[in-house]
Chain A
Amino acid sequence: GESVGLHLPTLSVQEGDNSIINCAYSNSASDYFIWYKQESGKGPQFIIDIRSNMDKRQGQRVTVLLNKTVKHLSLQIAATQPGDSAVYFCAENIAQGAQKLVFGQGTRLTINP
């Protein structure tokens, strides 16, 4: 989930398990959503996106689910690997027809060996 302030929510998983990271977005009119991964000292890296006319999209080892009824987005990572350790952000485009991405506060994913 998301929180505001100094402390990022943290998800710890065992290597090889599946991870599910959740996000509650704010604007019911948002039409486009993206998940980003940020490693220490780097910029956010695009993982997967989904448009509001879809409820599921799959990539390589990742799946994004969108539930517009409750304004909820999730990222599922299959067979989590050590390289998946990072902070994950969801972002929503709050201006239809434009590109105004608003980011959540992020979730830190840590992998236990």
Chain B
Amino acid sequence: DAGVIQSPRHEVTEMGQEVTLRCKPISGHNSLFWYRQTMMRGLELLIYFNNNVPIDDSGMPEDRFSAKMPNASFSTLKIQPSEPRDSAVYFCASSLRVANSPLHFGNGTRLTVT
């Protein structure tokens, strides 16, 4: 039973470059979440989708960040242009769209912007 799949596992890029992170949620889950984890700020919710529609993007730090979910089995988080302060581990999670349903996380993408 495949869990949430994220790619790439590691990404190293130079400041100013575009970065695209990818996520495949668990089949049958209809809610998808993007989180960012840093030592200073812990796990922060960036954005979440229900049935492929963005519901709450209040956690997206700036206009440089954008997320899409073109279908039920794929989502992307894009940073353009990237900056060193964007360095973090980015997690995708999915869940059933029912109240009080736990989130299931992928193993994250570690992003380093130099």
Contacts and interface: CB of A to CB of B under 8 A. Distances in A.
Nearest to B4: A43
A2 B55 CA distance: 29
Contact of A97 (B43, B99, B105): B99
Interface stretch (A9-17, A55-63, A78-86, A103-111): A103-111
B105 A45 contact: yes
Contacts of A97: 99
Interface in A17-50: 31-32, 34, 36, 41-46, 49
Interface in B92-111: 93, 95, 97, 99-108
Interface in B6-41: 31, 33, 39-40
A88 interface: no
A104 B104 CA distance: 17
Given A6-B39, A89-B43, A98-B55, A44 B91 contact: yes
B91 A43 contact: yes
Contacts of A69: none
A51 interface: yes
| Chain A at the B interface: SS class | loop
Contacts of B33: 99, 101
B42 interface: yes
B111 to A, nearest CB: 14
A5 interface: yes
A83 B107 CA distance: 18
Contacts of B108: 42-43
A51 B104 contact: no
A30 B45 CA distance: 16
Given A46-B103, A96-B99, A98-B56, 18 more contacts: A32-B99, A41-B107, A42-B108, A43-B106, A43-B107, A44-B43, A44-B105, A46-B104, A51-B100, A89-B43, A93-B100, A99-B48, A99-B103, A100-B45, A101-B45, A101-B103, A102-B45, A103-B42
5 contacts: A46-B103, A99-B103, A101-B45, A101-B103, A103-B43
